Chain A
Amino acid sequence: MQKANVAINPPAVPRSPSGSIKSILSLLTHAASFSLFFLVWHVAAVYVVQSVLFPPPLEVFQRAIELIEQGELFSNIAVSLRRIFLGFLLGAAVGVPLGLGIASFATVRAIIEPWTEFLRFIPSVAMITIAVIWFGIGEESKIFLIFYTTVFIVIINTAAGVAAISKNKIRAARVLGATPWQIFFLVSLPGTVPFIVTGMRIAMANSFTTIVAAEMVSAHEGLGVMLWNARLYMQVPDIFVALVSLGVLGLLADKLFRMASAKLTASYSSNS
Chain B
Amino acid sequence: MSFISLDSVGKQFLSRRATTAVAVRNFSLQLNQGEFFCLLGPSGCGKSTVLSMLAGFEAPSSGSIQLEGQEIVGSSRERCVVFQGDDSLYPWLTALENIAFGLRLQGMSKRERHAEAFKYLELVGLKGQENKHPTELSGGMKQRIQIARALVNKPRVLLMDEPFGALDAQTRNIMQMELRKIWKETETTILFITHDVDEAILLSTRAGVMTAGPGGTLKAVVDVDLEDNRSRSNPRYLELYDLVHGMIKEEVARSIH
Contacts and interface: CB of A to CB of B under 8 A. Distances in A.
Interface of A: 2-6, 8, 166, 168-169, 171-179, 182, 186-187, 190-191, 193, 267-272
Interface of B, secondary structure class, is: loop
Q: What are the 8 tightest A-B residue pairs by CB atom distance, in nearest-first order?
A: A272-B87, A168-B88, A176-B102, A177-B77, A172-B88, A174-B75, A166-B87, A268-B92
Nearest to B104: A186
A154 to B, nearest CB: 20
B76 A177 contact: yes
Given A177-B102, A177-B106, A171 B149 contact: no
A8 B133 contact: yes
Interface of B: 55-57, 75-77, 79-81, 83, 85-92, 94, 101-102, 104-106, 128, 130-136, 149-150, 153, 155
B81 A8 contact: no
B91 A175 contact: no
Nearest to B106: A177
Contacts of A178: 105
Nearest to A176: B102
Given A175-B75, A176-B153, A177-B77, A169 B130 contact: no
Contacts of B85: 168, 272
A228 to B, nearest CB: 46
A193 B90 CA distance: 13
Contacts of B149: 172, 176
A166 B79 CA distance: 20
A234 to B, nearest CB: 56
B81 A171 contact: yes
B101 A176 contact: yes
A177 B91 contact: no
A270 B105 contact: no
A191 to B, nearest CB: 7
B75 A4 contact: no
B131 A175 contact: no
Contacts of A193: 92
Max chain A Cβ within 10 angstroms of own Cβ: one of B81, B91, B94: B91
B131 A8 contact: yes
B55 A270 contact: no
Contact of A172 (B81, B104, B130, B134): B81
